[in-house]
Amino acid sequence: MEKQRINTKFKFSYRFLKYVFLFAFAIICSDSIYSQKLTYKIIKTLSVAPVDEVNYTGAECAFSLSIPYVNSADVHAEIPSLKSGINFISLRRSEYYSDGGGTLVELWFSFSDAGSYKLPSLKVRINERTYYIPFQTVKISEDPKKVQPRLIVEFENGVKVDSSKVRKSAQPIFSVKNGKPLTFSLYLQHAVQIISFDVIPPKNAVFTELERYDNFSSNSRGVEYSDELVPVAKFEWIPLEKGTLELPFIRLLTTAYNGNRVELLIPEINILVQDTNVALNKSLAGESIFGYAFVQPKEVAVEKKQPIKISLEECKTIAELRSSERKMLPVNKVKTERKNYENSLGITDGKSEPSVFLFYIFLTASIIILGIGIILIVLRKIPMIIVSTVFFAIFLVFTIIFATQVSKDYAILVEEKIKTIPEVSAESFSSIKSGSRVLILQNAADWVFVQYGNTSGWTLKENIVLIK
């Protein structure tokens, strides 16, 4: 019995000593975490850094400050005075135990406007001593859900115009010479997709699309926000009359970061077009006639390379062949005959005619399928109704496509000279080869406004042969 009591006391003493030892070991380990001292040299290297690389207006922006070798109870931070538009949200202190341990100070702010910010230094008391820890610069971007796409026009002389900041004004932004090429590029900002791109060539100028960049496709560029100016297209504009002229009409339908569709129009700005002859007389005053001859070598070269004019009868033959081609299926003998005839005249880029025959086929099929669908609805044949609906939709789409194609008015151009305005005395330029198929965009008395590719202008109705 006595022996049992001794064993019990021994076990109790052993457990007590065990717990005392563990407690002492814990204290020693805890003290060892902060055994190293925080020096002034270390403090000078500290800074309050933004947690995220990308931060947005209106959202919480987190900053962090790691102070090594000190307990959180010995650290006190004081929020500095902030400018308007910057709001303090919260502050938190916590201890970390990696790399020797220390205190982590976390702060959250919000910013009303986009831009780069450097907050005043953070006042921190460490072991009853005061230090000022600087903030790192943080960049705040616009909230992608609120920002709207912008269209920027950049001219070759360095002038940039923002569609979101420029209002219509009669005051020209700069001047150019009549007939001198003016190159400008379009850039798009804050958009993820281009849905449609419409360009209406001006009637008083030669307008050419030099390049269309493939930075935007039918697929989205993604939802990751970017301030990058993305190039869209590059154009060359040659005004052919003097005065104050507006830029050619360009319209883009885009998708914003929030998913909304936004229509963008080219800025309504004016450019002063001066008389070329007056400018030349001023620049060439006191020079010899021979000096002037060497100023425009390109124009002489252009005159030597004028294409051979195709006769009226040959143009009529092309128009007749194309009229017959319209009435047949896309693959036919008339199409081959037309191509061979145009090739013999030096016309190698002639596009095929839309098939009126196919249009009537798809139209008739759509009507028949629609009638069958109505009968099936009356008979309540659900599976067949679904099948007929699908076929009707397919044939209807093709009907609309062919209807759009055959409804356009085309003609064969006889006279190469097209004019800037519908007047006989107006300046003319040779840029469309005779025998080419042109699209008729507008009629005005005895004149028609035609387009061939990116080139357009006025010509008399007697200078074209309609494709019927």
Which tens digits make up the pLDDT trace of 350-376? 777 887 877 888 889 889 988 888 888
- Band of pLDDT at residue 140, cut at 50, 70 and 90: very high
pLDDT of residue 220: 47
251-to-114, 199, 391, 420 alpha-carbon distances in Å: 28, 7, 35, 23
Name residue 221's amino acid: R
Q: Is 106 or 99 the better-scoring residue by pLDDT?
A: 106
Residue 169 vs residue 270, higher pLDDT: 270
The residue extents of the domains of the chain are 40-141, 150-277, 312-466
**pTM confidence score:** 0.42
Domains 150-277 and 312-466 are alike in CATH topology = no
- 347: confidence class by pLDDT, cuts 50, 70, 90: confident
Is the domain covering 150-277 a CATH 2.60.40 domain?
A: yes
Residue 406 has pLDDT above 80, yes or no: no
pLDDT: which is higher, 231 or 162: 231
User: Which region among 183-187, 230-234, 323-327 has the lowest average model confidence (pLDDT)?
Assistant: 323-327
Higher pLDDT, 189 or 163: 189
pLDDT for 165 equals 72
Q: Kindly report, residue by residue over 165-194, the tens digit of the pLDDT.
A: 765 666 777 888 877 888 999 999 888 888
Which CATH number is associated with domain 40-141?
2.60.40.10
d(CA 438, CA 456): 9
pLDDT category of residue 340 using cuts at 50, 70 and 90: confident
In whole angstroms, what is the distance from residue 105 CA to residue 67 CA? 8
Partners of 48 in the β-ladder: 135
- Beta bridge partners, 212, equal 233
| Interstrand relation of 86-96 and 230-239 (parallel, antiparallel or unpaired) | unpaired
- The confidence score (pLDDT) of residue 279 equals 43
Q: What's the chain's Rg over C-alpha atoms?
A: 39
Given pLDDT bands bounded at 50, 70 and 90, which one contains residue 222?
low
CB contact burial 65-86 (16+ within 10 A = b; e otherwise): bbbbbbbbeebebeeeeeeeeb
**Residue 62, pLDDT above cutoff 90:** yes
Q: Which of 110-114, 198-202, 428-432, 435-439 has the highest mean pLDDT?
A: 110-114
Is 386's pLDDT higher than 70?
A: yes
Q: What is the pLDDT of residue 306?
A: 47
Give percent above pLDDT 90 in the chain: 18
Q: How many CA atoms lie within 13 A of 355 on its CB side?
A: 16
Q: What percent of the chain stands above pLDDT 70?
A: 80
9, 20, 21, 168, 239 from 15: Cα distances, Å = 10, 9, 10, 90, 101
CATH node for 312-466:
2.30.30.40
